Amino acid sequence: MEILLAAAAAFVYGLGDYCGGRASRKLDSLVVTCVGQVFSLMLLGIFLVILGDPAPGLHDWLWGAAGGIGGFVGLSLFYYALAKGSMTVVAPLAAVVSASLPVGAGLFLGDRPSLIAYIGIVIAIVGIALVTGAVGTAHASTKLAIVGIAVLAGCGFGWMFVCLDRTSEDSGMWPLLAARIASITIATTIIFVRQLSRDRTDRPAIRVTAIALWAGLFDMGANILFVFANRQGLLSLVAVITALYPVSTIILALRLDHEKANRSQYVGMVCAGLALAFVSLGR
């Protein structure tokens, strides 16, 4: 069940990343992040009321907030990189990093998957690497600086996964609330300070588009799916499956933006499917 939930989280993360990247082509990526997270915070509040879970202790609030900081940094940098570079390069590159960090942390903290699951992890990381266009020439060139930003974004995502894993199993979705409060506080503070530093005549209007709201909705939905999956399985397995999110991002980029994938990227997508099968069998 946890592998299906992780796969669903990957699919929904990919949808959110595509929407966020598209919105960031017209709006400031920081504004897109903030708008999406404020919208998703309202939805999370409704979800918490429905679940009715009691509020957890300080330990879970702190780990949730720490994860929120990582998620904010990752998402803001990721949307910026998606807006400035090729989705078929940026999304998978961030995914490789976001998978490697929690896999390493999980193994260090005591995760002991079966041999076939280890094979699945390796296939997943290789598959994601292939989807980056590391072999062959990507359709759209991406500057080295944007590649570096994508790597930092992956570190932010990986840190968020590790922090959410450190929360207690009976904390429900409350750590996500702590994460959202932390990330929104940072985002609004930065936006406010930037607005004050500009002349009144130079201040751009902060616009909200529907696609930014969709990005926030998908991101929160994926976070919830990840937490449910991680509570039932090992971090090293759940994280590597969740990190397959570039597949849905790339499919949308290929279909809607008419980007082109090379042969190695298609092989990487096949590897993603094989990895899902191996991890499912060996969990």
Return the half-sphere exposure (C-beta side, CA atoms, 13 A cut-off) of residue 136: 19
Q: What is the pLDDT of residue 94?
A: 82
Q: Which of 143-147, 234-238, 247-251, 278-282 has the lowest mean pLDDT?
A: 278-282
Q: Is the pLDDT of residue 207 over 70?
A: no
pTM over 0.85: no
Each residue of 79-131: pLDDT tens digit? 888 778 776 677 777 878 888 888 888 888 887 878 888 888 888 777 776 76
Q: Residue 78: which of 90, 65, 96, 66 has the closest Cα? A: 90
Q: What is the pLDDT of residue 205?
A: 47
Q: Is the pLDDT of residue 60 over 90?
A: yes
Which residues, other chains included, contact 218 with Cβ-Cβ below 8 Å and sequence gap of 6+?
Answer: 12, 13, 15, 16, 19
Each residue of 150-197: pLDDT tens digit? 889 989 989 999 999 999 988 889 999 999 999 999 888 888 887 777
Q: What is the pLDDT of residue 140?
A: 54
Residues 138 and 89: beta-carbon distance below 8 Å: yes
Each residue of 242-272: pLDDT tens digit? 888 877 877 887 778 776 666 777 777 787 7
Q: What is the pLDDT of residue 132?
A: 55
The conformation of residue 27, written as its DSSP 8-state character, comes to: S
d(CA 159, CA 165): 10
Mean pLDDT over each residue of the chain, to the nearest integer: 81
Q: Is the pLDDT of residue 204 over 60?
A: no
Return the half-sphere exposure (C-beta side, CA atoms, 13 A cut-off) of residue 210: 0
Q: What is the pLDDT of residue 179?
A: 92
Residue 168, SS3? coil
Residue 28 has a CB neighbour count (10 Å cut-off) of 20
Percent of the chain with pLDDT over 90: 15
Q: What is the pLDDT of residue 216?
A: 87
Each residue of 65-83: pLDDT tens digit? 999 999 889 888 888 887 7
Percent of the chain with pLDDT over 70: 87
Report the first-to-last Cα separation within the chain, whole angstroms. Answer: 10
* Top-confidence residue, 234 or 176: 176
Name the strand (E) or helix (H) holding 235.
Answer: helix 235-242
